[in-house]
Each structure stands twice: as C-alpha cells, then as structure tokens.
C-alpha cells in the first residue's frame, strides 16, 4: 500500500534538445503517491518538453526517469504507458469522427499492477465528468475545446493509470470549464491517482496542487508548496506571468 510519501515518479538531471537547440538543462522533479504537483512557467519555459521527456516522446540526452521504482529512461512511450503512467498531451488526440462513448471504449485497457484497484468503468467516469455523460452519443467533432479536453482525460483514465501527466489542462478553457477541470483533477486525486500537470495559471494550480515547481529556460528555479508560491512575489514576478 503506498503512502503519501512514496515516490511514484522521479526525474534526475534530465536534459533534452530539439535538433541543436537544448531546451532542458538537468530537470529534477518528484511526484509522490497521492499528490498533485504543478510544473509552472511561462510560454517556452520547458514544461511540455519535461513531460514529453518523462514519457519518452522526446529523447532525454542525460539523466534518469524512474517510475514506481523502475528505471524507464529511454523507454518507448507505449511501454511507459503500459506500466501505468498516463499522458494527456496539449493537442487533444481524440478521434473526432467517433462519439464520446466510442472514444472512451478505445481507451479501455488494463494497466499493469494495480492490485485491489477497481478498473475504471464508464459509470465511474461519468460520475466525475457529468457533462460527458450528457453527450455520450455525440461525435467529438461537435464538442467544444473544453469538452474535448475532458474527453481526452477521461479516455486516459480508461487505461487505468496509477499516475497521469497533464499538459496545460486549463489552457484556453472558459472559466466555467476551468472549474469543472479543477473538479476532475481533484476527483482523480481522490481516486488515488497522482498527477503531474504543467500549468501557467497560478489560480488553477493553487486550486488543485499540493506542491509546485517553477521552470524557466529549461531548469527548475523554485520548488515549494503552492501556498508558499502564491505568497512569494519575487518568484512570481520573475518567472510567472501573474
């Protein structure tokens, strides 16, 4: 049984580049069981690349990624996903020709090693995403961006992950949908899923996260509770847009 202090995901010194342009310079991030952690920073700071490097979507040139005690550095994304790490990228990769229901069925798979955990069912998902329940038969192409974002997360949960990486879940969402998104993240946490999310919105991050890292130019500049971050004018002004 994991406790709040068990490390579920850890990066040590990860570096990554696009061609000759290095964008991550030794990033250390830890996610413990049961936590929601925000990776904050301005546009281009390296948030998405950090999540991609964890997931093996971009190769890390240095450093290590450990998931549930296993060194997964250099693994293919599908293998990491199979271990139980879900990933929701910024671009919503849903099937627009399929209905909400069909998209969720496509996501159904069992992740390794979640003993005693009930697999996600559509009923459980719809309890967390009531708006999706109301539009089960709708094609994804006829949904708003925010609804598609919810669907992407719901579909990831159908894979029964133990932890999830969420890339900018609140980006571009109307305020009412941002609130629903915050509820969904908290519901995931209540179900025992650890979440590492990238975020620019301090309001959203504080509503859902226990701790935050601030990244700038590909390196972590601050680490602390979201409360401390909110109270730290210097860090906020230097590295965040708020």
Ligand X SMILES: Nc1ncnc2c1ncn2[C@@H]1O[C@H](COP(=O)(O)OP(=O)(O)OP(=O)(O)O)[C@@H](O)[C@H]1O
Nearer to ligand X, 186 or 219 (CB): 219
Dihedral angle of Cα 111, 193, 150, 241, to the nearest 10 degrees: -130
Nearer of residues 129 and 213 to ligand X, judged by Cβ: 213
What is the smallest separation between the CB atom of 19 and ligand X, expressed in angstroms?
A: 7
The answer to whether 216 and 41 are in contact (CB under 8 A) is: yes
Joined tokens for residue 185: 């993240």
Phi, psi (5° rounding) for residue 201? -90, 105
Size of the site for ligand X (CB under 6 A): 12
Residues 9-68 that bind ligand X (CB under 6 A): 18, 21, 23, 41, 43-49
Q: How far is the CB of 198 from ligand X (least distance, A)?
A: 6
| Nearest distance, CB of residue 112 and ligand X, angstroms | 29
Name the minimum Å distance from CB 120 to ligand X. Answer: 28
Cα 89 to Cα 3, 33, 62: the distances in Å are 28, 21, 22
Return the biggest CA–CA distance within the chain. Answer: 49
- Closer residue to ligand X in complex, CB, 34/41: 41
Q: Which residue has the tokens 């798979």?
A: 109
Binding residues for ligand X restricted to 174-233, rule: CB under 6 A: 198
Q: Which CB sits closer to ligand X, 1 or 21?
A: 21
Q: Which is nearer to ligand X, 44 or 145 (CB)?
A: 44
Contact status: 172 vs ligand X (CB under 6 A): no
Q: ∠ at Cα 78 (76, 80), nearest 5°?
A: 75
Adjacency order of strands within the sheet including 211-216: 85-88, 163-167, 194-199, 36-40, 211-216, 219-225
Closest distance to ligand X from the beta carbon of 97 (Å): 27
C-beta of 58: minimal distance to ligand X in Å? 8
**Residue 3 CB neighbour total at 10 angstroms:** 8
Nearer to ligand X, 25 or 95 (CB): 25
Nearer to ligand X by C-beta: 100 or 215?
A: 215
The answer to whether the beta carbons of residues 23 and 218 sit under 8 Å apart is yes
CB of 241 to ligand X, least distance (A): 10
The b/e string for 153-179 (b: 16+ C-beta within 10 A; e otherwise) is bbbbbbbbbbbbbbbbbbbebeeebbe
Instruction: Provide the binding-site residues for ligand X, judged by CB under 6 A.
Output: 18, 21, 23, 41, 43-49, 198
């Amino acid at each position: 049984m994991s406790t709040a202090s068990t490390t579920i995901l850890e990066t040590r010194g990860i570096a990554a580049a696009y061609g000759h342009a290095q964008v991550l310079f030794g990033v250390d991030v830890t996610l413990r069981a049961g936590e929601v952690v925000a990776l904050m920073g301005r546009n281009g700071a390296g948030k998405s690349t950090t999540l991609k490097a964890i997931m093996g979507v971009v190769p890390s040139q240095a450093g290590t990624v450990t998931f549930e005690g296993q060194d997964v550095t250099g693994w293919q994304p599908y293998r990491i996903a199979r271990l139980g790490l879900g990933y929701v990228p910024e671009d919503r990769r849903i099937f627009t020709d399929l209905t909400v229901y069909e998209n969720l069925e496509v996501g159904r798979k069992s992740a390794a090693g979640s003993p005693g955990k009930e697999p996600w069912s559509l009923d459980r998902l719809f309890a967390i995403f009531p708006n999706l329940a109301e539009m089960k038969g709708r094609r994804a192409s006829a949904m708003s961006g925010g609804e598609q974002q919810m669907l992407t997360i719901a579909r990831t949960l159908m894979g029964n992950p133990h932890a999830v990486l969420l890339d900018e879940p609140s980006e571009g969402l109307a305020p009412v949908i941002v609130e629903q998104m915050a509820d969904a993240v908290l519901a995931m946490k209540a179900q025992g899923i650890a979440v590492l999310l990238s975020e620019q919105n301090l309001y959203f991050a504080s509503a859902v996260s226990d701790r935050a890292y601030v990244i700038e130019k590909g390196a972590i500049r601050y680490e602390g509770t979201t409360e401390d971050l909110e109270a730290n004018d210097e860090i906020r002004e230097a590295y965040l847009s708020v």
